[in-house]
Amino acid sequence: MNTIAIEELLPHAGKMILLNRVLAFDDENMVAEVIVRDDGLFGDGHTVPAWLGMEYMAQTIAAHGGMHRRLAEMPINLGFLLGSRRYECNVGTFAIGTVLAVSVHRLVLDQGLGVFDCRVTADGILATAKLNVYQPDNAVNRIMTI
């Protein structure tokens, strides 16, 4: 897994790529690593808000879809976060430098619509949510570079 650059799996670019690497992958699951960073986008120099965990989850779902498309020799395409059910986190912020494991498990996938059970974990940290996503086959543009 470490030989595939995360940039090859996501339609994001530049500082908007928040994942560091893929740790595990199979047909229904992915685990990604995030090293919490403060590059001026979200942090205050010491922490980032815990709601950013939802974006970590969404990018891991996108990387999961990107891996499937890469294995099928198809171009990476855009996906859309439609909403979440119950994002809960036991902390208010993530400290800069913290290594997080972001796990997603596909519960449903039907005609591009998906539901994933997601977790962000580290020592003393647990964030959970179910995310609803949509990934149409024809959306292939790359998104924002900051």
pLDDT value, residue 138 = 66
**Per-residue pLDDT in tens (0 to 9) along the chain, 146 residues:** 557 899 999 988 888 999 999 999 999 999 999 999 987 778 888 999 999 999 999 999 999 999 999 999 999 888 899 999 899 999 999 999 999 999 999 999 998 899 999 999 999 999 999 999 998 876 555 444 44
pLDDT value, residue 90 = 98
pTM: 0.91
pLDDT value, residue 42 = 86
pLDDT value, residue 43 = 84
pLDDT value, residue 144 = 45
Chain-centroid distance of CA 49 in Å reads 16
Chain-centroid distance of CA 105 in Å reads 12
pLDDT value, residue 143 = 47
User: Which residues have CB under 8 Å from 89's CB, separation 6+?
Assistant: 50, 51, 53, 120, 125, 126, 127, 128
Domain segments of the chain as ranges: 6-134
Contact present, 103 and 53 (Cβ < 8 Å): no
Architecture category of domain 6-134 in CATH: Roll (3.10)
